[in-house]
Structure 1
Amino acid sequence: MSQQLKQTPLHGLHIEMGAKMVPFAGYDMPVQYGLGVKKEHIHCRDSAGLFDVSHMGQVRLKGQHAATLLETLVPVDIVDLPEGKQRYAVFTNENGGIEDDLMVTNFGDHLFLVVNAACKEQDIAHLKTHLKDGVELEVIEDRALLALQGPKAAMVLAELNPAVSDMVFMDAARVTLLGVECYVSRSGYTGEDGYEISVPNDKAEELARALLAFNEVEWIGLGARDSLRLECGLCLYGHDLDPTTTPLEASLMWAITPSRRAGGVREGGFPGADIILEQLQTKQVSRKRVGLVGQSKAPVREGTKLFDAEDNEIGIVTSGTFGPTKGIPVAMGYIATEVNKLGETVYAEVRGKKLPMTIEKMPFVPQRYYRG
């Protein structure tokens, strides 16, 4: 099976470093290294972790009307996105559901998009379907993607180029690292301060080794990446978000910028706008994404059904694990709106037992993005 899987430019280095490899989104990816998932998780929270996220899709949109075109597909401002800034966005469908979530950066001469690995083929096809004269789409195949995350990430990367210290959360810039131009954003998927670095394939291993040479930095696999993002209340597409789930149901109202809402200067104009804007105005949805913490030590996994005290089925878990920082099981899922109350106890059915969980505000662990 591994012969049929794609490999990132850093595959050989993962093998050399003793990574346990697993299939993920069509790639042979490291799930953990010698430290193990729990220690990798804690190391990233305490120091700095290095992630290979080269399986993600990287795309350029060029042309005078590139921002206008992209804005017809997402409910966020792209036309007003300042140069050197990055923004979170979602592709919506005609029913208001989420087809994928992505990051969009304005580099001045082009828009740089990073899309999810499992969705990149459909996202690229979706963009191509809507291309107009004067807008060019380029799929980037010659760049790897690294993420350096944690409270010591800035100190480490500044050793390679001090300019990164001046960046704040969601800033993006062309930064020279080891003599080559990289696309660097101060962002990430762990809730910690850190950077994502798009680097030419032929320099990826050299950059990874240079970062790993710092005592503060350790490789982090997919296992800890999942527990880190879950503790910080960040969604995983295909689990917490899907084409049947609207932004309001997903508690992503902040991902619809004011100018695109009812009465905004560029109201609507994206797929499913009528449904999404009506939900936004009436606040009427049948279910909402919520945070859940366990009252016992048993982790509650994706797909677990949720019940109220009267044994009525009220929802389902979409992500769940043991939170090493929090020290208890954490999960997120969807529950019926009428029983969505902070502090309320619900029951997860695990192997025939009903385990109590508390509805808790997310993030479970404070986000520590650097905002200056």
Structure 2
Amino acid sequence: MADTLELELGSLPLDGWHRARGGRMVPFAGYHMPVQYEGIIAEHRWTRQHAGLFDVSHMGQLMLRGPQVAEALETLLPGDITGLQPGRIRYSMLLNETGGIIDDLMVTNVTPTGGEPTYYMVVNGATKAGDIADLRRRLPAEITIEHLDDRALLALQGPEAAAVVEAIWPGVGDELSFMQGTSRDWEGVAVGFGRSGYTGEDGYELSVPNSHAEKLADLLVSDERVRPIGLGARDSLRLEAGLPLYGHDLDEQTTPVSADLLFAINKRRRADGGFAGSDRILAEIEQGPVARRIGFTVEGRQPVREGGRILDAEGNEVGRVTSGGFSPSLEAPIGMGYVATTLGAPGTALTLEQRGKLFRATVTPMPFVPHRYHRKGKA
């Protein structure tokens, strides 16, 4: 079975590029992907101090067009899509009919001036085929969904990312703030920019045709401030930033309320409802969920990984760890998981159990490391 699965793995446009730079390739989301180059901790710290280049081309890039496409998307997503202005990006979730999260995603309004309403959507790699099928089944037939499988997606993250981009594309840094997007012509093709990412740092996601992906990657790492970074550091960075990972911290049994993602449902959507599972979700907002996603720190040096049990003072299981690891920035083990809401207050003492060993933990506000997104008018 392992050999069969290995043969079925796809290759990203930069597969050879990663291997030539010493990337250690592993199976992830149906592709061969680099888990590390020089080492996870070194790559993590480089991204926090300089700029790291991540290949996230496994993710699904979609273009949705058609009459009243925003209104149609609002029947499936709890986010404010009709109020999203051109060039703006919004985090949201694709929900099932009971309010469970099918996937979390980013939506950008890329409607051209005077043109047909158009939205660019980035979905998770492991779920993209199911997402596309679900969207095609549930959206009106007149809305077209184009899978941009001819484009790569690169993420440049870190405090020096803006200066690197500005040196190549002058003006992009001044034009964009956090959760804003634009495009530029480069080498005869269009490159899409979104000032966002999943590390907690300032940075950009760049969409480029597969034919130009290697040239763009070479250009970016030719700057001494940029190094290629693998999946291992991407995971430790997003964990420090308190960002959930689909398939681990989020799934179809999880609602946006229990996942502590209420920021993605604005006042209008809470008042009007009308999205998949809205009755359940609005009731949870009013009454509180049974369980909630929390962050925790662990005493000692050993992290508690996904699947560890969370116990109360009497030894009763009250939740499960969904992500856990060692924080290179804090030099301490951290994690997140779900517990009964009554045990989710910061400072609450918990006991974690993994492989028969017990660990003391404390509920800790997230993010563990402060976000450093670029917001105009703020230092």
TM-score range, shorter chain: over 0.9
The CA distance in 1 between the partners of 2:285 and 2:314, in whole Å, is: 31
Answer yes or no: is the 8 Å Cα contact 1:185–1:197 preserved in 2.
yes
Q: Secondary structure at the match of 1:281?
A: helix
Q: Secondary structure at the match of 2:11?
A: coil
Q: Which residue of 1 aligns with 2:309?
A: 305
Q: Which residue of 1 aligns with 2:115?
A: none
Q: Secondary structure at the match of 2:52?
A: strand
Q: Which residue of 2 aligns with 1:171?
A: 180
The letter for the 1-side match of 2:203 is G
Pair 1:153 & 2:161 matched: yes
Pair 1:261 & 2:265 matched: no
Q: Which residue of 2 aligns with 1:91?
A: 94
Pair 1:369 & 2:373 matched: yes
Q: Secondary structure at the match of 1:100?
A: strand
Answer yes or no: is the 8 Å Cα contact 1:160–1:178 preserved in 2.
no
1:315 to 313, 319, 325: 319
1:201 to 210, 221, 243: 210
* TM-score of the superposed pair, with normalisation by structure 1: 0.96
The CA distance in 1 between the partners of 2:88 and 2:187, in whole Å, is: 23
The letter for the 1-side match of 2:275 is F
Kindly report structure 1 stretches of 4+ aligned residues shifted beyond 4 Å: none
Report 1:194-343 matches (<5 A): 194-262=203-271, 267-283=272-288, 285-343=289-347
Q: Which residue of 2 aligns with 1:81?
A: 84
Alignment length, in residue pairs? 366
Residue 178 of structure 1: CA displacement?
4.1
Residue 64 of structure 1: CA displacement?
2.5
2:39 to 36, 39, 43: 36
* TM-score of the superposed pair, with normalisation by structure 2: 0.95
Unaligned runs of at least 5 residues, structure 2: 113-117
Residue 179 of structure 1: CA displacement?
4.4
The CA distance in 1 between the partners of 2:290 and 2:139, in whole Å, is: 35
The letter for the 2-side match of 1:145 is L
Residue 180 of structure 1: CA displacement?
2.6
Q: Which residue of 2 aligns with 1:141?
A: 149
Unaligned runs of at least 5 residues, structure 1: none
The letter for the 1-side match of 2:273 is G
Answer yes or no: is the 8 Å Cα contact 1:160–1:177 preserved in 2.
no
Residue 217 of structure 1: CA displacement?
0.5
Answer yes or no: is the 8 Å Cα contact 1:21–1:31 preserved in 2.
yes
The CA distance in 2 between the partners of 1:99 and 1:212, in whole Å, is: 35
What does the per-residue CA deviation read over 1:179-234, in whole Å, with 9 as the maximum and x for residues that have no partner? 43111000000000000000011000000000000111111100000000000000
The CA distance in 2 between the partners of 1:329 and 1:175, in whole Å, is: 41
